[in-house]
Structure formats: structure tokens, C-alpha cells
Amino acid sequence: METQNKIALVTGGSRGLGKNAALKIAAKGIGVIVTYQSKKEEAEDTVNEIKQFGVQAAALQLNVADTKTFDAFFVEVKTILKSVFDAEKFDFLINNAGIGIHASFAETTEEQFDTLVNIQFKGAFFLTQKALSLLNDGGGIINISTGLARFALPGYAAYASMKGAMETLTRYQAKELGSRGIKANIVAPGAIETDFGGGVVRDNEQVNAGIASNTALGRVGLPDDIGGVVAFLCTEDARWINAQRIEASGGMFL
């Protein structure tokens, strides 16, 4: 298989979209390192599920908001690559870890803004920069945006702006890393039923129905709707897709 001996690093792989992407990537025969922030047991469950696909897997703790820890994190990654995967480098970085904060533009505090920017933009920016020396030429970066960067819903000014910044960054990464054969793309999910934002999309019937009625395919998204898109971008079939924003929203707010 062309994906054999490839390795992906998925941030926020303990649950939600990151976990789903990690499993779909593993199903393609690609080894996976997942990171978690606080949910170690969930990350270990993910690792055990990944191994059922016959590939190697490992979990590492990482707070993407804490850039000072990134050097030490990549020392750990290097050790794990050697000990678990018998490899020096990895092939795909999936910048998925993230949180949402719901606040109107008028009421967003500086503290909320800083929390979001540190996780959603600064963290992904510098984590990827520090990953470059461990990323194989010919590999890929897959960032995660949101439908909210295309359409505007009240309450997401700061969050969606940072995802918009990630979309711009993705094009710069593609431009500057293309000489190494490294592709950069960004997947933009619509509203998906996960723990995200306190699980509001999944647990609040009114919100769920409202989104479904504004989605061409008539329902809210599930993690299973997204992971396969990320996994596809890790395959040879996707080798010519570069610098793209790929929305997977079932057709939200068309």
C-alpha cells in the first residue's frame, strides 16, 4: 500500500473530530501519534482503537496554547518516532486541537480573545513551524477551519476570524513549503455533533434543528462526515490538492 510506513500526527486526537480523523487515517494503513490536552484515558482508548487497524500508534500530552513547551514536545515526538515507529520523521501534521468560545463581537473580552488566538492560531502557527524539521519532504499539513469563516453567525467573531487567519496561513504554507513537496490544505467542517462548545450542536435540540434546516442535506454533521476527508488528504490520490479550503458542511447556508 502506498500509505505504508507513513505517519501522521493529529493534535486533539482524544475525542471528536481529531479522534475520528485519526481512526480514518489509521484505516488507510498510516501510523498515528495523537495528542491530548487533559483526557489521557480517552487518548489511550484512541491509541488502542488505532492499533486494531494493524498500524502503530502513540499518545502524547500537548497544550497547543503553550508555545514554550513545543521544543520539549518535539523531543518527545522524536523519541516516540524511533521507539514506536522505527522512524526519524513523520509525514502529515493535522492541526485539529481547538476550543470554541461563544461571545458577540460587542462583548468579547480581551481574555477570551487571547485564549482563542493562543489555541486556534498562534499555537498552530508555531507548532507547525517547529514541526518542519521532523516533517518528511512530500508530506502534508492539514489545518482545520470552520464553515463560520465563510458565513457569519452571531457569537463567533473572534473564533471565526482566527480560523480565517488559518485559511490564509494555509496558502502561505503551501506556497513556501511546495519546494519540499509539502502540501498544505484546510478542511472546514460545518456544525458537527461533538463536545465542542459544550456539546451545544449535539445536545441543544433547538440549535440542532436550526442547523439542520439551514443545511442542504437536512441534518447536522457527525464526526464520521469529516474524518474521511482528512484521511483522504493523507493519500496519494490527493497528491495534487494543494492550498485548498475544502468545506465539508453538507451545504450549510448556501
Ligand X SMILES: NC(=O)c1ccc[n+]([C@@H]2O[C@H](COP(=O)([O-])OP(=O)(O)OC[C@H]3O[C@@H](n4cnc5c(N)ncnc54)[C@H](OP(=O)(O)O)[C@@H]3O)[C@@H](O)[C@H]2O)c1
Three-state DSSP class for 44?
A: helix
Place of cell 458542511: 249
Contact with ligand X (CB under 6 A): which of 5, 27, 29, 42? Answer: 42
| Angstrom distance (rounded) from CA 106 to CA 137 | 44
CB of 69 to ligand X, least distance (A): 10
Q: Pick out residues in 140-199 that bind ligand X (CB under 6 A).
A: 144, 146, 189, 191-192, 194-196
CB of 5 to ligand X, least distance (A): 26
14 is a site residue for ligand X (CB under 6 A): yes
What is the full DSSP assignment across 145-207?
--GGGTS--TTBHHHHHHHHHHHHHHHHHHHHHGGGT-EEEEEEE-SBSSSHHHHHHHH-HHH
Three-state DSSP class for 111?
A: helix
Q: Pick out residues in 47-66 that bind ligand X (CB under 6 A).
A: 62-65
Q: How many helices (H) and strands (E) does the chain have?
A: 9, 7
CA-based Rg of the chain, rounded to a whole angstrom?
17
Cell numbers given for 177: 513549503
Q: Pick out residues in 74-133 that bind ligand X (CB under 6 A).
A: 96-100, 119
Judged by CB under 6 A, the stretch of 12-20, 69-77, 105-113, 230-238 that binds ligand X is 12-20
Answer yes or no: 159 catalytic: yes
Cell numbers given for 184: 498544505
Nearer Cβ to ligand X, position 92 or 196?
Answer: 196
36 is a site residue for ligand X (CB under 6 A): yes
CB of 1 to ligand X, least distance (A): 27
Q: Which residues bind ligand X (CB under 6 A)?
A: 11-12, 14-18, 36-39, 42, 62-65, 96-100, 119, 144, 146, 189, 191-192, 194-196, 201
Q: Report, as residue numbers or ranges, the catalytic residues.
A: 159
